[in-house]
Chain A
Amino acid sequence: MQKTFTQFENFGHSLNAPSYLIQPNTTEDIYEAFLLAKKKGLTVTARGAGRSYNDAALTGGGIVLDMRGMNVITEWDNSTGLVTAQSGTTLEQFWQRVEPDGWWPPVVSGTMKTTLGGCLSANIHGKNNFKMGPIGEHVVEFTAILPTGAEITCSPKKNADLFYSMISGLGMLGIFTSITMQMKRIHSGLLIIDALPVHNLHEQLSALLEGAPNNDYIVGWMDCIAGGKSLGRGQIHAARYLHEGDDPNPLETMKIKNQILPPRIFGVFPKSMLHYFMAPFMNNFGTWGINTAKYVVSLSKHTFRQSHAGFHFLLDYVPDWEFSYGRGGLIQYQSFIPKETAESAWTEILKLSHKNHLPSYLGVTKRHRPDKFLLTHAVDGFSLAMDFKVTNNNRAKLNQLLQEFDRIVLQAGGRFYFAKNSETTAETAANFYGNETIAKFKKLKKRCDPNGLLESDLYRRIFAD
């Protein structure tokens, strides 16, 4: 096994943590890395595609296991929709394997670049969280290796305590090696999508609340820059699967080539260069222009059909878009707030961001429901994800602002999500998880990892004693 000292970053390029890189190909390789770490007194963390906005896949000065070498889809049964794959498999590999046979992953993230192991560790959700829950609810069984070297198999029935804690466990109890999931049957490669404008935050949240029961997916875009009566304005996209027979030629629409986005615009301009052209607009004035223009364009209510991949993987439209935020990179702040208190909390948050001249350049809202995983981030309510540009000049002010946000969200009974937020403190986490949950997690941690080998920078930030 080769070990290389490597500079790792978070997805937003706003944090770096050099550490030793090991690229395991087998479960034995992972075990060897644990032995090595124990001998050398170093910490270990598994890293998938490195798509987390925070420090979840970083362990500065320790050993990073790049899991992308373990990326084989080992079994696929197109009659039952059960698929088994190694944990380094990406969602991209996943949907491309199952879709031509008429199936789709029940829960996907906004990018297809993520790995299954990463998705389970954060227990990701999609635009259908209110209906299908997080990805963990569709895992039939998984195997993992613990730092003790024990290989365990977990399902909702077998080792249930570990099943419900390793999924959502931020990779701190063990490392997933193989995952079996149930896919969802589809009858077309297309979705029917309603697009409707919403003129303020109240309309935005009402549309999510009322739209959710009648749709399979629902997501809102929010212009976080608009203020006054237009505070929280934006556009809702609600999507439904096509029923059998709705699509005259499902085999054709489900072909991968009819799903993926072309790499060039108008057949000539390479999209990989787009982020250079976006960079000059990534400031308060430029994004005001973009958000306003987008809102004006989205004012008409309309219905259209779009491919699954095109609807879900919005973040993949512009490759390397995160570089357009410049040298300081970006951070994402996502809060999950119960439906009763969300409107007033986000009104306060948006107004505060305007007052401090630190508006979010992109806002995305979703509808959620609770789940029974140990470190759950979900509530019966909504989430709002906000992107903030980081610069040398705004760090201190932004830091203060986010602390204010944290206070407001906690007061509203809200929660945070550890694939996203990078500034949440241990006290805040203890506040929304509750001391009992944290104690339970730490007890499981002691059991699975008695020597404390698995330790990401996120763990140090939130759970370290």
Chain B
Amino acid sequence: MPDSSKSFDQTQPKPAQATPLNPRRRGIIIGASEGIGAALARKLAKEGFTLALLARRKDKLDELCAEINATANEIRAMAYVHDVAKYDEVPALLSRVVADLGGLDLVVFMAGVNFPPGLTSYNFEGDRKMIEVNLIGAMAWLIPVAEMFQSAKAGQIVGISSVAGDRGRIGNPGYNTSKAALSTYLEALRNRLARHGVNVLTVKPGFVKTEMLKAAQGATPFAITPEKAADDIYTAMRKRKQLIYTASIWRWIMLIIQHVPSVIFRRMSF
């Protein structure tokens, strides 16, 4: 059991105690400060979850927590500043957060970065950063979480991958790879954990109107709001689904794209 006595801002007020008639599912959202993460935090808090929200930017987190707690008129969100690339912090922080939440039922790994190198240039630092955050960051969190849920024989993991992981394209090899690897990793976790009563949900969003979308080149068809994505994710969580695309049309688009023969695909500027 890791050391959780290191202080991670222990001054914030604790959530109210769960009782049978006032149950509180407890969740962690890693990468919660904006975009789908923030929208999902609002949605889950509204549905009665008590949440630990993790992100790098303290001001944004505090703002979000204050908004959620004011809306609910009680403590439903707590903020923890954390950089996903600091893997060594994870075990102690997880233990601290679980103690603060009074248990754990859900972990959402949402953190992701995107550094498109451009169609003709290459950027090792950017690619490395994407792998470090999007993939290794997920491993650093989901391994101790999987261990906990496996022995508790309960729990739910939600991993936010991307349609970008379904095919290697010319625009952003590093991002494609990080998301393809994350999807495979989540699938493997699902196959490991399903027999222990743990659900692993892979979410593959298409275009979502967030900060990250501004980095995308070209057209962004079927773009949805973060709120719509959060609603889709919550519905899938409740049904304990394995994989969803959001918007759902991306399932069919990606089915076609996955089957475009290489001889054509490698000539496309897509």
Binding site for B on A (CB under 8 A): 3-7, 10, 12, 14-20, 36, 39-43, 54-55, 60-62, 329, 331, 390, 395-396, 398-399, 402, 422-423, 457, 460-461, 464
Q: Is B19 an interface residue (CB 8 A)?
A: yes
Q: Please report the C-alpha to C-alpha distance between residue A41 and residue B3 in the assembled complex, in whole angstroms.
A: 8
Q: Is B98 an interface residue (CB 8 A)?
A: yes
Q: Please report the C-alpha to C-alpha distance between residue A37 and residue B20 in the assembled complex, in whole angstroms.
A: 27
Query: In the bound complex, do residue A55 and residue B19 qualify as a contact, i.e. CB atoms below 8 Å apart?
Result: yes
Q: Is B148 an interface residue (CB 8 A)?
A: yes
| B-side contacts of A41, CB under 8 Å | 3-5, 96, 99
Query: In the bound complex, do residue B21 and residue A62 qualify as a contact, i.e. CB atoms below 8 Å apart?
Result: no
Q: Is B47 an interface residue (CB 8 A)?
A: no
Which of B82-90, B151-159, B160-168, B219-227 is near enough to bind chain A? Answer: B151-159
Query: In the bound complex, do residue B3 and residue A39 qualify as a contact, i.e. CB atoms below 8 Å apart?
Result: yes
Query: In the bound complex, do residue A20 and residue B4 qualify as a contact, i.e. CB atoms below 8 Å apart?
Result: no
For B18-59 the 0/1 string (1 means CB < 8 A from A) is 111111001000000000000000000000000000000000
Query: In the bound complex, do residue B99 and residue A43 qualify as a contact, i.e. CB atoms below 8 Å apart?
Result: yes
19 extra A-B contacts, CB within 8 A, seeds A5-B149, A6-B152, A60-B18: A5-B152, A7-B152, A14-B20, A15-B19, A16-B103, A17-B18, A18-B155, A20-B1, A36-B1, A39-B3, A40-B2, A41-B5, A41-B96, A42-B1, A60-B101, A331-B20, A457-B18, A461-B17, A464-B17
| A-side contacts of B149, CB under 8 Å | 5
**Smallest Cβ-Cβ distance to A12: which chain B residue:** B20
Query: In the bound complex, do residue B1 and residue A40 qualify as a contact, i.e. CB atoms below 8 Å apart?
Result: yes
Query: In the bound complex, do residue B21 and residue A395 qualify as a contact, i.e. CB atoms below 8 Å apart?
Result: yes
Q: Please report the C-alpha to C-alpha distance between residue A34 and residue B197 in the assembled complex, in whole angstroms.
A: 31
| A-side contacts of B23, CB under 8 Å | 14-15, 395
Query: In the bound complex, do residue B154 and residue A16 qualify as a contact, i.e. CB atoms below 8 Å apart?
Result: yes
| B-side contacts of A329, CB under 8 Å | 20
Query: In the bound complex, do residue A55 and residue B17 qualify as a contact, i.e. CB atoms below 8 Å apart?
Result: yes
| A-side contacts of B151, CB under 8 Å | 4-6
Query: In the bound complex, do residue A399 and residue B22 qualify as a contact, i.e. CB atoms below 8 Å apart?
Result: yes
Q: Is B95 an interface residue (CB 8 A)?
A: yes
Query: In the bound complex, do residue A60 and residue B102 qualify as a contact, i.e. CB atoms below 8 Å apart?
Result: yes
Query: In the bound complex, do residue A40 and residue B4 qualify as a contact, i.e. CB atoms below 8 Å apart?
Result: yes
Q: Please report the C-alpha to C-alpha distance between residue A423 and residue B2 in the assembled complex, in whole angstroms.
A: 33
Q: For B17, give its contact among A396, A399, A457 (CB under 8 Å).
A: A457
Best-surrounded residue of B5, B21, B96, B149 (most CB of chain A within 10 A): B21
For B86-116 the 0/1 string (1 means CB < 8 A from A) is 0000000001101111111100000000000
Q: Is B147 an interface residue (CB 8 A)?
A: yes
Q: Please report the C-alpha to C-alpha distance between residue A161 and residue B100 in the assembled complex, in whole angstroms.
A: 33
For B159-180 the 0/1 string (1 means CB < 8 A from A) is 0000000000000000000000
Query: In the bound complex, do residue A18 and residue B154 qualify as a contact, i.e. CB atoms below 8 Å apart?
Result: yes
| B-side contacts of A12, CB under 8 Å | 20
Q: Please report the C-alpha to C-alpha distance between residue A4 and residue B26 in the assembled complex, in whole angstroms.
A: 19
Query: In the bound complex, do residue A18 and residue B103 qualify as a contact, i.e. CB atoms below 8 Å apart?
Result: yes
How many whole Å from B26's CB to the nearest CB in chain A?
Answer: 8
Given contact pairs A40-B5, A457-B102, A18 touches B21 in the complex (Cβ within 8 A)? no
| B-side contacts of A423, CB under 8 Å | 19-22
| A-side contacts of B95, CB under 8 Å | 40, 42
| A-side contacts of B21, CB under 8 Å | 331, 390, 395-396, 398-399, 402, 422-423
Given contact pairs A17-B102, A43-B99, A5 touches B20 in the complex (Cβ within 8 A)? no
Q: Please report the C-alpha to C-alpha distance between residue A395 and residue B101 in the assembled complex, in whole angstroms.
A: 22
Q: Please report the C-alpha to C-alpha distance between residue A215 and residue B33 in the assembled complex, in whole angstroms.
A: 67
